[in-house]
Amino acid sequence: MTQVQDKAVGAALLAIGSFVFTYYSIWTLIIPFVDLGHPARKLFPPQWYAIALPVLLLTVGVTGIFGFLSFVMLKSGKKAKST
């Protein structure tokens, strides 16, 4: 990729990350104190998901990392035994 494309991808990732951080921060820190009938509540899922989604993503991510590491360790162990 060229330098211009790298900057464009970086800017897009920064914008997406900033939006997600802002949305999640508002969802977890401000919305619990907003009245139940307020229209802003319709923009956010129930509060239960604010905890469940990160826990699920963390569990899947850690499982994937350890699965990959175990696969690499098993593969390198077989390679060392065969030589």
pLDDT (tens digit, 9 = 90+) per residue, 57-83? 999 999 999 999 999 999 987 777 776
Cα gap 25→43, rounded to integer Å:
13
Structural domain spans, the chain: 1-44, 47-82
Closest CA to 70 of 62, 60, 80: 62
What is the structure's pLDDT at 83? 63
Please give the model's pTM, rounded to 2 decimal places. 0.72
Helix then strand then coil, in percent of the chain rounded to 5, is 85, 0, 15
